[in-house]
Chain A
Amino acid sequence: MLHAERHNLPIVMVTLLIKASPLNEPDDKAGIAYLTAKMLTEGTKKRKASEISEEIEFMGASLDASTSSDYTTISLSVLRKDVEKGFEIFSDVLQNPLFPEEEIKRKKEIIKGSLMQSEEDPSFVASKTFIKEVFGDHPYGRLVNGSIETIDSIKRGDIVKFYNEHYISDNAILSVVGDITPNELNSLIDKYLGQWKTGDKSQQTEVRIQTEKKHKDKKIVIIDKNITQANIIFGHRGIARDNPDYYAVSVMNYILGGGGFASRLMKVLRDDMGLTYSIYSSFSGNKEIGQFEVEVQTKNESAGTAIREILKQINKIKTEAVTEQELNDAKAYLTGSFPRRLETSKRIADFLAAVEFYKLGDDYIKRYPDYINQVTKEDVLRVAKKYLNSENYVLVIVGDKKKIDLSYLQPSENIKQFTY
Chain B
Amino acid sequence: MKNSRFWKILILSLIFNFAFLIFSFSLHASGSPKSHETFWGTVSVKEYTLNNGIKVLIIEDHKAPLATFQIWYRVGSKDESIGKTGVSHLLEHMMFKGTSKYGSKVFSNIIQRNGGTDNAHTTKDYTMYHQTLSSDRIGISIELESDRMCNLLLDPKEVINERNVVMEERRMRYEDDPQSLLYEEVIATAFKAHPYRWPVIGWMSDIASIEREDLYRHYIAYYSPDNAFIVISGDVKAEDVIQKVKEGFEHIKPDKVRVERYKAEEPRQEGEKRVYLKKEAELPYLLIAYHVPSFPHKDSFALDVLSTILSAGKSSRLYKDIIYEKRLALNIFADYSGFYKDPFLFILGGTLAPQKNIEDLEKTIYNEIERIKNEVPSEKEIQKAKNQIEASFIFAQDSTYSRAFYTGMFEMLGDWRLMDKYLEGIREVKPDDIQAVAKKYLTDDNKTVGILIPIKNSK
Residues of A within 8 A of B (CB): 1-11, 49-50, 53-54, 56-62, 77, 79, 106, 109-110, 112-114, 116-117, 119-122, 169-170, 174, 182, 186, 189-190, 193-194, 196, 198, 224-229, 259-262, 267, 270-278, 297-299, 328-329, 332-333, 335-340, 342-346, 348, 352, 356, 362, 365-366, 419-420
Given known pairs A277-B166, A297-B171, the reply for A343 and B399 (CB within 8 Å) is: yes
Within 8 A of A (CB), among B161-198: 161-169, 171-172, 175-179
- 8 residue pairs of the A-B complex, CB under 8 angstroms, read A120-B282, A225-B280, A226-B459, A272-B161, A329-B113, A340-B116, A340-B117, A420-B459
A121 to B400, CA, bound (A): 33
Q: Which of B27-35, B79-87, B104-112, B208-216 contacts A (4 or more CB under 8 A)?
A: B104-112
A5 contacts which of B7, B18, B282, B323 (Cβ < 8 Å)? B18
Across the interface, do A57 and B313 meet the contact criterion of CB distance under 8 Å? yes
The answer to whether the Cβ of B443 comes within 8 Å of any Cβ in the partner chain is: no
Across the interface, do A332 and B115 meet the contact criterion of CB distance under 8 Å? yes
The answer to whether the Cβ of B132 comes within 8 Å of any Cβ in the partner chain is: yes
Closest to B9 in A: A1
Across the interface, do B13 and A4 meet the contact criterion of CB distance under 8 Å? yes
The answer to whether the Cβ of B335 comes within 8 Å of any Cβ in the partner chain is: no
Across the interface, do A4 and B323 meet the contact criterion of CB distance under 8 Å? no
Using Cβ atoms and an 8 Å threshold, which residues of chain B touch A271?
97, 104-105, 161
Count the B residues whose beta carbon is within 8 Å of the partner chain — how many?
Answer: 89
> 18 other contacts beyond A59-B391, A278-B172, with CB at 8 A cut-off?
A2-B10, A4-B11, A5-B11, A9-B395, A50-B320, A56-B313, A113-B283, A120-B281, A169-B6, A169-B7, A182-B11, A261-B105, A275-B168, A299-B171, A336-B114, A336-B115, A343-B64, A420-B457
A228 to B173, CA, bound (A): 11
Across the interface, do A228 and B395 meet the contact criterion of CB distance under 8 Å? no
A202 to B233, CA, bound (A): 52
Closest to A116 in B: B282
Using Cβ atoms and an 8 Å threshold, which residues of chain A touch B18?
5-8
The answer to whether the Cβ of B262 comes within 8 Å of any Cβ in the partner chain is: no
Using Cβ atoms and an 8 Å threshold, which residues of chain B touch A346?
398
Q: Which of B217-225, B270-278, B339-347, B382-390 contacts A (4 or more CB under 8 A)?
A: B382-390
Chain B nearest CB from A303 CB (Å) reads 12
Across the interface, do B387 and A339 meet the contact criterion of CB distance under 8 Å? no
Across the interface, do A335 and B168 meet the contact criterion of CB distance under 8 Å? no
Across the interface, do B399 and A6 meet the contact criterion of CB distance under 8 Å? no
Chain B nearest CB from A192 CB (Å) reads 12
Chain B nearest CB from A146 CB (Å) reads 16
Closest to A113 in B: B330
Given known pairs A3-B11, A5-B18, A11-B395, the reply for A117 and B168 (CB within 8 Å) is: no
A339 to B1, CA, bound (A): 33
Within 8 A of A (CB), among B139-172: 160-169, 171-172
Across the interface, do A267 and B171 meet the contact criterion of CB distance under 8 Å? no
A54 to B309, CA, bound (A): 12
A362 to B20, CA, bound (A): 25
Across the interface, do A340 and B387 meet the contact criterion of CB distance under 8 Å? no
Closest 4 CB pairs of A and B: A336-B115, A60-B391, A274-B164, A274-B161
The answer to whether the Cβ of B392 comes within 8 Å of any Cβ in the partner chain is: yes
Across the interface, do A8 and B387 meet the contact criterion of CB distance under 8 Å? no
Given known pairs A6-B18, A59-B391, the reply for A54 and B315 (CB within 8 Å) is: yes
Given known pairs A59-B391, A116-B354, A186-B1, the reply for A8 and B398 (CB within 8 Å) is: yes
The answer to whether the Cβ of B374 comes within 8 Å of any Cβ in the partner chain is: no
Across the interface, do A1 and B10 meet the contact criterion of CB distance under 8 Å? yes
Across the interface, do A198 and B66 meet the contact criterion of CB distance under 8 Å? no
A74 to B162, CA, bound (A): 42
Chain B nearest CB from A9 CB (Å) reads 6
Using Cβ atoms and an 8 Å threshold, which residues of chain B touch A174?
7
A50 to B171, CA, bound (A): 41
Across the interface, do B391 and A61 meet the contact criterion of CB distance under 8 Å? yes
Chain B nearest CB from A232 CB (Å) reads 12
B324 contacts which of A2, A10, A106, A169 (Cβ < 8 Å)? A106
Using Cβ atoms and an 8 Å threshold, which residues of chain B touch A335?
115
Using Cβ atoms and an 8 Å threshold, which residues of chain B touch A343?
64, 66, 398-400
Using Cβ atoms and an 8 Å threshold, which residues of chain B touch A198?
6
Closest to A181 in B: B13
Using Cβ atoms and an 8 Å threshold, which residues of chain B touch A61?
391
Using Cβ atoms and an 8 Å threshold, which residues of chain B touch A366?
15
Chain A nearest CB from B229 CB (Å) reads 24
Across the interface, do B7 and A189 meet the contact criterion of CB distance under 8 Å? yes
Using Cβ atoms and an 8 Å threshold, which residues of chain B touch A182?
11, 13
B282 contacts which of A119, A189, A339 (Cβ < 8 Å)? A119
Across the interface, do B7 and A121 meet the contact criterion of CB distance under 8 Å? no
A345 to B64, CA, bound (A): 11
A392 to B198, CA, bound (A): 46
Closest to A112 in B: B354
Across the interface, do A60 and B13 meet the contact criterion of CB distance under 8 Å? no
Closest to A297 in B: B172
Chain B nearest CB from A308 CB (Å) reads 17
Chain A nearest CB from B139 CB (Å) reads 15
Across the interface, do A117 and B395 meet the contact criterion of CB distance under 8 Å? no
Within 8 A of A (CB), among B271-320: 280-283, 312-316, 320
Across the interface, do A344 and B398 meet the contact criterion of CB distance under 8 Å? yes
Chain A nearest CB from B145 CB (Å) reads 16
Q: Mark B14-28, 1 if CB is under 8 A from A, else 0.
A: 011010110000000
Using Cβ atoms and an 8 Å threshold, which residues of chain A touch B134?
336, 339-340
